[in-house]
């Protein structure tokens, strides 16, 4: 990680890996899916999935 000193409050640049797998979770039934891209809908109940790395707020 490196600091970005161009702003008054430095931010941290984190390298992104497009081939990294993420865990997606269904908020309705709790099913979890691991994939490199957003799988769309839940394989169990067909509701939308959310990326577990993203906060709920």
State the residue range of the domain holding 43: 19-57
The pLDDT of residue 19 is 78
Q: What is the DSSP string of the chain?
A: -EEETTSSS-EEE----TT--EEEEETTT--EEEESS---B-TTT-PBEEETTS---
Q: Is residue 6 part of a domain?
A: no
Q: Is residue 39 part of a domain?
A: yes
Residues 4-53 pLDDT 10s: 555 566 666 666 677 788 999 999 999 999 999 889 899 999 999 999 98
The pLDDT of residue 38 is 87
Q: Is residue 13 part of a domain?
A: no
Q: Is residue 32 part of a domain?
A: yes
Q: Is residue 53 part of a domain?
A: yes
The pLDDT of residue 1 is 46
pTM of the complete model: 0.63
C-alpha–C-alpha distance, residues 52 and 13, integer Å:
21
The pLDDT of residue 42 is 95
C-alpha–C-alpha distance, residues 27 and 47, integer Å:
8
The pLDDT of residue 17 is 73
Q: How many domains does the chain have?
A: 1
């Amino acid at each position: 990680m490196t600091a970005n000193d161009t702003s008054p409050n430095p931010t941290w640049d984190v390298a992104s890996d497009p081939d990294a797998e993420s865990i997606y979770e269904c908020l309705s039934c709790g099913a979890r899916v691991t994939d490199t891209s957003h799988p769309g809908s839940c394989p169990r109940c067909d509701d939308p999935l959310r990326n577990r790395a993203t906060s709920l707020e």
